[in-house]
Structure 1
Amino acid sequence: MTGPLVRPAVPADYPAVARLTVAAYEADGQLKGENGYADVLADVAGRAAHGEVLVAADPATGQLLGSVTFVLPGSPYAELCGPGEAEFRMLAVDPAAQGRGTGAALVEACVARATELGCTALVICVRDGLAESAHHLYRRHGFTRTPRLDWTPLPDVHLLALRRPLTP
């Protein structure tokens, strides 16, 4: 089987992206006690207006398997990236499609996009306590912890920064 096809999301994809993103975050336990974050995740049109929403689709069926939001500094969705850097957020893989390389394909697409734009680094923050498989995915793709960028947007929500230097 070939890997998922990663492409820019189109408005017709937004309802499916919203569903799979919320489902993935719920499955990982990331929405417990979160007031309103599911609504932020489901606002795919808002994300697309301020960044690039990419989707991973099964090449045989076209079924959406995952998505990610890629942003640059100045976007309201940018939390960590500084000048010359890029960031990705809200990487989500449909719980029914995990283990097929979808997350890796989305990370690789973000690295390629940041490199194409001449960025010097790509950053992401992950919730402390997130499944080890997510941390392993990012380490495998060259991301390392950057504690000076860690932050806590809400009580009991601790976000750990990861960074990958890029060669434009």
Structure 2
Amino acid sequence: MFMHILENSYFVLQLPGLKPKFYLQIKGGTMGSACTQVLADIYVQKWENEFVQQQQQHGELYLRFRDDVFLTTRLPQERIEKILSEINKKDPNLTIKLEGGKTVDLLDVITTIEIPNFRAKVFRKLAAQPYVLPFHSSHPIYIKRNIPYAAALRATRICSHSEDLRNELEKN
């Protein structure tokens, strides 16, 4: 079944004023598919096990959600780049790039190192902003009422400091 899904994955492209065109995806699978996400997790977990053990032995943090990874390290930048270069050579299907510093945006969280802890607050992606749904849209009223609640819940779950939470709630 997995092979059938991977070998028969199509996507549609429709440009303004033109008829839609169907294309066969020739490498990999659609990340929107539940089946493909499971396969990707299995594939990545196979090579990441050794790396995770190494992180744990050094008391470092390693978190992954699909293809986004957050980790901590005390290694110098040059050593990290060398390790990533070696990992990238092992498998042409996986490419890892380094984005780091004292502050990192990952998924919908801005994480800042404030020794001895982290500070977390909501990261607002421009493409996902703002929470707007026209009142006269055909969506049920409970959906419209849920938007402010969901935004407040998201902020409450993410913000590690009360002042950041207050600021985020005032924006919504």
TM-score normalised by the chain length of structure 1:
0.24
Which one scores higher on RCO, CA 8 angstroms, separation ≥ 6? 1
Tell me which protein shows more helix as a share of its residues: 2
Structure 1 or 2: more strand by fraction: 1
